[in-house]
Amino acid sequence: MAKKEKYNVAVVGALGMVGSEMIRTLERRNFPVDEFRPLDIPENAGKTVAFNGASVKVQAAVKENFAGIDIAIFSAGATASESLAPQAVEMGAVVVDNSSQWRMDPECPLVVPEVNPDDLKWHKGIIPNPNCSTIQMVVVLKPLHDAGTIRRVIVSTYQAASGGGKRGFDGLTAEAKEYLETGKQVEPRVHPVQLAFNCVPHIDVFQEKDYTKEEYKMVYETQKIMGDKAIRVSPTCVRVPVWYGHSESINIETERKISADQAKKILADAKSVVVVDDVANNKYPTPLDSNDRDETMVGRIREDITIENGLNLWVVSNNIRKGAALNAVQIAETLVDMDLVRVP
């Protein structure tokens, strides 16, 4: 069968924060769309979204509305994905899913296109998008792993409120406004404690050994994406009062020594990575720098002074773009490039 020139594309959760960014990303990157079909909860059917200058009516995210769709990009949550993604595949669509539902399923490749695009060759219809904090970390770690073989990672994340979706974004905004007006501690909107002007070392639920679900995602997703279960990951995930842009302090230990200068060169040559590291002139990436940027930025690259083969890195990326919408669209682009837009 000849490769298509254009594809029928659905975005599920089209009215949400990430779904809206997925639509903008498809537009911005000139994805070869023939028909565009926005889908959302039945209550939102009939509303409209803008796409390539046209107003497109939202349809209900139900099985029959996947008919004729080639690629369905989901941002509808794990519960919806559990039931809807297989239905979309039954209707002939390849699903790229932004939820956590399918990430650790051994039948589903977990893909960051800069890291493991070849894993798409064994997809069976559903391709999960990794967690936002994992994506930006492995984009930076993979070229260093290729050079020196990473054996241990200690990572502390500083994750923006929008990582919790619109509810998280609006919750921080409301808390900050109330705190500035009253000067008193406020009732928390989303987290167990106030996030505004605070840091909360608690993202998702606590699990075995008092690590959170978010932290375990970074452990197991990193090993799966990098294809190396020997990589040990020790994470602490923290929500901070920032609207957009996740930051990570990463310490790695490698089998073969990589100097700071070597690391800077390796990362400067890496795909989708930008090195911002000129401490003499106070140049290093911050969450504000990630606004309207697709690249993952890395700075404060320096050797660990406590071990022989260690590096410290500061990594920043826009969690709604590369951490969600952009990576999903890049997966779709890679499927097109590799002629894999078909259900086996």
Classify residue 242 by burial, with Cβ atoms within 10 Å: 0-12, 13-18, 19+: buried
Closest CA to 255 of 328, 209, 311: 311
C-beta of residue 293 within 8 angstroms of C-beta of residue 272: no
**Letter for the amino acid at 268?**
A
CA dihedral 158, 136, 313, 281 (to 10 degrees): -80
Q: Which residues are catalytic?
A: 132, 246
In whole angstroms, how large is the CA radius of gyration of the chain? 20
Give the contacts of 270 (CB within 8 A, at least 6 positions apart). Answer: 114, 139, 140, 142, 143
Q: Are strands 33-40 and 7-12 parallel, antiparallel or unpaired?
A: parallel
Q: Running DSSP on this structure, what letter comes out for residue 48?
A: E
Any idea of the CA torsion for 33, 35, 38, 42, to the nearest 10 degrees? Answer: -160
Q: Give the whole-angstrom CA distance, residue 174 versus residue 14.
A: 24
Q: The sheet that has 310-317: what strands, in order across it?
A: 232-239, 150-159, 246-254, 310-317, 296-303, 273-275
- Strand (E) or helix (H) holding 93: none
> How far is Cα 240 from Cα 108, in angstroms, rounded to an integer?
32
φ, ψ at 274 (rounded to 5°):
-120, 125
